[in-house]
Amino acid sequence: MTRPPEGPGQPGPSVPTVGRITVPELRAAPESGRRIVMLTAYDYPTARILDVAGVDVLLVGDSLGNNVLGYESTLPVTMDEMLHHTRAVSRAARRALVVGDMPYLSFQTGRRDAVRNAGRFLKEGGAAAVKIEGGRRRAGLVEALLDAEIPVMGHIGLTPQSVHLMGGYRVQGKRIDQARALVEDAVALERAGVFSLVLEGMPESVGRAISDAVAIPTIGIGAGRFCDGQVLVFHDLVGLGEGTPPKFARRYARIGDEIAAAVHRFVDDVRGGAFPSEAETYSVPEAIAAGKSGRT
Ligand code: KIV
């Protein structure tokens, strides 16, 4: 498959600026040489900013659990939590495609559960598609979702819902047999009908081999430079997360530090009596304040 002619690091064609991005448009991105930009979003104001800034796909990721709800992993995240945040993001998105991430145990328990839960993302959450983690084992499930008119984004490699099976958040596909298995997973999911594929936490060579093996767009997160698009967790990009961001994440701002500095100043101003000032105070004419009616 031909990858974007410009090669890594070069600007590609600009994305359309009017109308909503659709699943077929996203699916066709590799042919047009258009690199897909995807970010996680969990709330209305952030989603508005990302949408206006030109992000193609807003992923309401189950990383909501770690980044917003204070869980240690994505495993505790529920369907109700996901839907609550998906609705907020959908209300904000005018142009970007909204994808809802199927949380742990919303699809692993059988096709019936999976179709019902995935359908809720479209029916109640306003999303246009769902994402599910896992390789060829999910092929039948992908077909069942498509039967119910639900577009599916796949996700292979380091899949956080498998954290205990993997023995931690480890880069996948380092051994040749594992790398081959990942390529086979990608091909099986493409055959089953996914319209795009997230590749997470794998050597660049494996990300490249998968991107060459499938015609659907690959969207990398820690999968190197040869994917058709890139996704980051918003909190890593703006420096809002706790701890050190992963090696693959580029920090474009330090919003967490900015917020801390602003709040420290507010604390000092309130304690020191500098807030509020007269300009930040409502007033009435002096006579009324003094209790006089003003009538003669
Ligand atoms: O939940 C999430 O943030 C994700 C991305 C890492 C792709 O699945």
Whether the per-residue pLDDT at 291 is higher than 60: the answer is yes
Q: How many CA atoms lie within 13 A of 152 on its CB side?
A: 31
- Residue with the smallest CA separation from ligand 1 atom 8 is 61
Q: Where are the alpha helices (DSSP H) in 53-138?
A: 64-67, 79-92, 111-123
Contacts with 99 (C-beta within 8 Å, 6 or more apart), sequence order: 38, 57, 58, 59, 60, 127, 128, 129, 130, 131, 153
pTM to 2 decimal places: 0.92
Residue-level pLDDT at 288? 83
The mean pLDDT of the chain is 93
CA–chain centroid gap for 4, Å, is 23
Q: To test ligand 1's pocket by mutation, which of 46, 59, 99 has the most ligand atoms within 8 angstroms of CB?
A: 59
Q: Please write the tens of the pLDDT for every residue from 190-199.
A: 999 999 999 9
Confidence of residue 295 (pLDDT cuts 50, 70, 90): low
Residue-level pLDDT at 242? 85
Confidence of residue 293 (pLDDT cuts 50, 70, 90): low
Q: Please write the tens of the pLDDT for every residue from 1-24.
A: 334 433 444 444 444 446 899 999
Q: Which atom of ligand 1 is nearest to the CA of 74?
A: 1
Residue-level pLDDT at 285? 87
Residue-level pLDDT at 116? 98
For 198, the enclosing helix (H) or strand (E) is strand 196-200
Distance 246 CA to ligand 1 centre (A): 13
Residue-level pLDDT at 194? 98
186 or 296, which is more confident: 186
Mean pLDDT computed over 65-88:
98
Mean pLDDT computed over 66-74:
97
Q: Which residues is 99 bridged to in the sheet? A: 59, 129
Mean pLDDT computed over 65-87:
98
Collapsing DSSP to helix, strand or coil, 99 comes out as: strand
Mean pLDDT computed over 47-59:
98
Q: To test ligand 1's pocket by mutation, which of 62, 158, 230 has the most ligand atoms within 8 angstroms of CB?
A: 62
Q: Please write the tens of the pLDDT for every residue from 113-143.
A: 999 999 999 999 999 999 999 999 999 999 9
Distance 147 CA to ligand 1 centre (A): 25
Residue-level pLDDT at 289? 77
Active-site residues, by number, are: 200
Distance 63 CA to ligand 1 centre (A): 6
HEC string for 228-267: CEEEECHHHHHCCCCCCCCCCCCCCCCHHHHHHHHHHHHH
Contact 24, 44 (CB under 8 A): no
Residue-level pLDDT at 286? 84
- Closest C-alpha to 249, from 90, 30, 67: 67
Confidence of residue 296 (pLDDT cuts 50, 70, 90): very low
